[in-house]
A and B are shown apart, each in its own frame.
Chain A
Amino acid sequence: MKMIGKPADAAVIAGIVVFIVLISFQVYANRGEASQVRIDAQGEQWIYSLDADQRVMIPGPLGDTEVVIKDGQVHIPDSPCRNKICVTSGLIHRVGQWLICLPNDVFIRVEGEVPRDQEVDDVAF
């Protein structure tokens, strides 16, 4: 095959690859055992323990998104959005994994060790 690129093409592509690798480490670096679930919705934030089984309703602009924590795994059984992409995203359990319902503005993330300034909020339900 004849080469059709020019020398700087490889440099640009390599630069982008390096950036992606660096950002991956930054974002997905293992931050300890999965221990808690952080939910952000409409500017509010809830933190639940991953060990306590429970079902919570997170209010969003379209209604309540249902979030279930069971056996150390999190999933969204139902959400009042159109495409149900969050529902079909399935179960998450590792640090850094996330579930997102864009239409209903709900963002769920599995996190590692509990930061010192945040206590697990187990009060709801």
Chain B
Amino acid sequence: MSPSEQYSVRIKDVALLAAFALFLSTIEYVIPKPVPYMRIGLANLSVLIGLTYLNLKEYALLAVLKVLGQGIVHGTLFSYIFLLSAAGSFASALVMLLIYRTASRRISLIGISAAGAFASNLAQILLAGVMLFGSAAWLIAPPFLAAGLIASVVLGIFAEKFSRESLWLKKRRGAAA
């Protein structure tokens, strides 16, 4: 495959994963949650999948598209909530990338997903503390972090299984390599 053909394959995969994130954001938006600022992080699934075969630039692009997509779907694009969401997504994407690049032999997508959700929630709590509530933001930290941990481990198990067994993903990786 020529470089330009390869580029076109890869950029399509980024677009596909971003569309997937948008779709999952919509699903997440529809699921009722006990408190509105609690998130399951379904859209993180596409970032986890992307992590396993995209290069740095494509991965960053995917993260940006995911954040924008979520802002549009949740209708928060031009509010302070978007800042929280963006900070969370980028913190999580960065932590997951660092762990994957340095320790993917010892850690699966399950641990990476948990660490990513933790980073996302921590970033949001810190930012909420700075922007809105001061140290009182820590009051919601325990249930917020605990819910995030449970949701992220479940998503991580799914992502790990999917990443190992999906024939579709195997084909995509082959096409992108």
Contacts and interface: CB of A to CB of B under 8 A. Distances in A.
The A contact surface, by secondary structure, is helix
Interface stretch (A24-32, A53-61, A63-71): A24-32
A5 B110 CA distance: 7
Contacts of A28: 142
A98 B157 CA distance: 34
The B contact surface, by secondary structure, is helix
B128 to A, nearest CB: 10
Contact of A20 (B36, B146, B157): B146
A37 B76 CA distance: 32
Given A6-B106, A40-B133, A98-B136, A12 B142 contact: no
Interface string A1-39: 000111111111100110110011011100000000000
Interface in B36-82: 36-37
Contact of A5 (B115, B133, B145, B160): B160
Interface in B122-156: 132-134, 136, 138-139, 141-142, 145-146, 149, 153, 156
A75 interface: no
A96 interface: yes
Contact of A85 (B35, B105, B106, B142): B35
Interface residues of A, number: 28
A27 B134 CA distance: 13
Contacts of B146: 20
A83 B114 CA distance: 30
Interface string A86-110: 0000000000101000100101010
A85 B132 CA distance: 18
B132 A105 contact: yes
Contacts of A102: 37
Interface residues of B, number: 30
B88 interface: no
18 contacts: A5-B157, A8-B107, A8-B111, A9-B107, A9-B114, A9-B156, A16-B114, A16-B118, A20-B142, A20-B145, A23-B138, A23-B145, A27-B139, A27-B142, A85-B35, A105-B132, A107-B133, A109-B136
Interface of B: 35-37, 103, 105-108, 110-111, 114-115, 118, 132-134, 136, 138-139, 141-142, 145-146, 149, 153, 156-157, 160-161, 164
Interface of A: 4-13, 16-17, 19-20, 23-24, 26-28, 40, 83, 85, 96, 98, 102, 105, 107, 109
Given A16-B115, A28-B142, A107-B133, 7 more contacts: A8-B103, A8-B106, A8-B111, A10-B111, A12-B107, A17-B149, A40-B133
